[in-house]
Amino acid sequence: MTPTLSIRDLTVDIPTRRGTLRVVDGVSWDIAAGEILGVVGESGAGKSMTGAAVMGLLDRPAHVSGGTVALKGEALDPNDEDAMRGVRGRGIGMVFQDPLTSLDPLMTIGDQLTETIRRHLPVGQGEARERAVRALEEVGIPAAADRLDAWPHEFSGGMRQRVVIALALCAEPDLVIADEPTTALDVSVQAQITALLKRLCRERGTAVMLITHDMGVIAETADRVAVLYAGRLAEIGPVRDVLTDPKHPYTQGLMGATPAASAGKGRLWQIPGAMPRAGSLPDGCAFHPRCGKAQDVCRRDPRPEVGRAHPRAACWFPVGEGAEATA
Ligand SMILES: Nc1ncnc2c1ncn2[C@@H]1O[C@H](COP(=O)(O)OP(=O)(O)OP(=O)(O)O)[C@@H](O)[C@H]1O
Ligand SMILES: [Mg+2]
């Protein structure tokens, strides 16, 4: 079956006075209908840039400089602003960290929903309002019909993010891209929101790209997980495999640095050093200066891609695999 989203060798460049920064570098993955791909990595790894590239929402001068993006087998041009405006909403729904960036403070909840529905679906005002009520009911807004005329500021943060999810899903998109959808919310409502997103997307067969730095969210929500490091894909595979048996030394370090994984083990294990910035990446594997297993091959070009030395990890010396993989 054709995947809902397919990206291949995606690169994003930002031209600056001191040269071009490659902030996303050769990223490839598929997401099937109804599947949730978690995207993790430390701050600056390129998670949001990858999401923004697929949505056609990169801020200039950042732009897609290579690779392909296809939605249900149809090629998209993320640099074509007009074309991408048509894709967002109907093709791709979006959920961002702060619900207030997705909601217009000067429009009622009902007007925002009905306007989005009518922009993308061939329905009249009455039907659009009925759909808006149903959309609010589905995301668990009590007395939905009475809340249509409410303003965004009358809702709590958690309720606002429910409205954003309703807005992202109301035009029945094939793909939802959620960038840190629960980070700005109280811990007590975070799990409710991710569970809601998961249930609705499963029911509708919507593919989801879920960007988060929260490994707990990944463990509970995602089917597969992609680990980004310095703009590159370090590892990708089924959640259970990657979390319990990480193959890239960076993933292993990342797992060790999450509170859940190290609960009861005292202080968190941190990977020594810092992720290199775009524009000052070392040759070979970008992680090699921080990697205890690095050998000469890791410092040289070409760097390994996922699938070259290991089916899941972009690494010559996958964790627990013993002998050197053939270069
Ligand atoms: N306007 C810009 N000019 C130069 N570099 C930029 C610009 N915007 C972003 N970057 C760089 O792009 C890289 C990727 O950023 P991105 O926002 O995708 O990271 P992220 O993985 O989403 O991080 P976070 O977890 O903090 O959200 C970072 O190294 C960042 O410094
Ligand atoms: Mg980000």
pLDDT interval class at 236 (50, 70, 90): very high
- CB-based burial, 273-300: b 16+ in 10 Å, e otherwise: eebbebeebeebbbbbbbbeebeebbee
Overall pTM > 0.85: yes
Residues touching ligand 1 (Cβ under 6 Å) are 14, 21, 23, 41, 43-49, 213, 277-278
If you measure from the C-alpha of residue 44 to the centroid of ligand 2, how many angstroms do you get, rounded to a whole number?
7
Q: pLDDT tens-digit profile of 39-98?
A: 999 899 999 999 999 999 999 999 999 999 999 999 999 999 999 999 998 999 999 988
Q: What is the pLDDT of residue 264?
A: 45
Atom number, ligand 1, closest to the C-alpha of residue 52: 18
Of the CA atoms within 13 Å of residue 52, those in its CB half-sphere come to 18
Atom number, ligand 1, closest to the C-alpha of residue 41: 21
Atom number, ligand 1, closest to the C-alpha of residue 61: 1
Proximal ligand: closest to the CA of 63: 1
Q: Where are the alpha helices (DSSP H) in the chain?
A: 47-55, 81-87, 99-102, 109-120, 125-138, 144-147, 157-169, 187-204, 215-221, 239-244, 249-256, 296-299
Q: What is the pLDDT of residue 327?
A: 44
Q: CA–CA separation, 273 vs 225, rounded Å?
A: 24
Q: What is the pLDDT of residue 259?
A: 55
Q: How many CB atoms lie within 10 A of CB 240?
A: 12
C-alpha torsion 289→291→296→297, nearest 10: -110
Q: CA–CA separation, 278 vs 49, rounded Å?
A: 12
If you measure from the C-alpha of residue 82 to the centroid of ligand 1, how many angstroms do you get, rounded to a whole number?
24
Span 247-269, mean pLDDT? Answer: 67
- Answer whether residue 268 shows pLDDT above 50: no
The secondary structure of residue 281, as a DSSP letter, is P
The residues near 47 (Cβ < 8 Å, ≥ 6 apart) are 39, 40, 41, 179, 211, 213, 228
Q: What is the pLDDT of residue 269?
A: 58
Cβ atoms of residues 14 and 23 within 8 Å: yes
If you measure from the C-alpha of residue 145 to the centroid of ligand 2, how many angstroms do you get, rounded to a whole number?
35
The residues near 132 (Cβ < 8 Å, ≥ 6 apart) are 110, 113, 114, 117, 148, 166, 170
Atom number, ligand 1, closest to the C-alpha of residue 47: 21
> Cα dist. 67→24, 39, 85 in Å?
11, 19, 20
Cβ atoms of residues 107 and 148 within 8 Å: no
Q: The tokens of 32 are what?
A: 């099937």
- Answer whether residue 18 shows pLDDT above 80: yes
Closest C-alpha to ligand 1, atom 29: 44
If you measure from the C-alpha of residue 181 to the centroid of ligand 1, how many angstroms do you get, rounded to a whole number?
17
If you measure from the C-alpha of residue 84 to the centroid of ligand 1, how many angstroms do you get, rounded to a whole number?
22
Q: CA–CA separation, 240 vs 245, rounded Å?
A: 8
Residues facing 210 on adjacent strands: 38, 178
| Ligand 1 mutation pick, 17, 21, 42, 183, max ligand atoms within 8 A of CB | 21
If you measure from the C-alpha of residue 130 to the centroid of ligand 2, how many angstroms do you get, rounded to a whole number?
35
The residues near 326 (Cβ < 8 Å, ≥ 6 apart) are 309
Averaged pLDDT score across all residues of the chain: 91
pLDDT interval class at 322 (50, 70, 90): low
Closest C-alpha to ligand 1, atom 14: 46
- What's the longest Cα–Cα distance across the chain? 67
313 backbone dihedrals φ, ψ, rounded to 5°: -120, 145
Cβ atoms of residues 218 and 45 within 8 Å: no
Closest C-alpha to ligand 1, atom 12: 23
Q: How far is CA 199 from the centre of its chain?
A: 17
Cβ atoms of residues 148 and 133 within 8 Å: yes
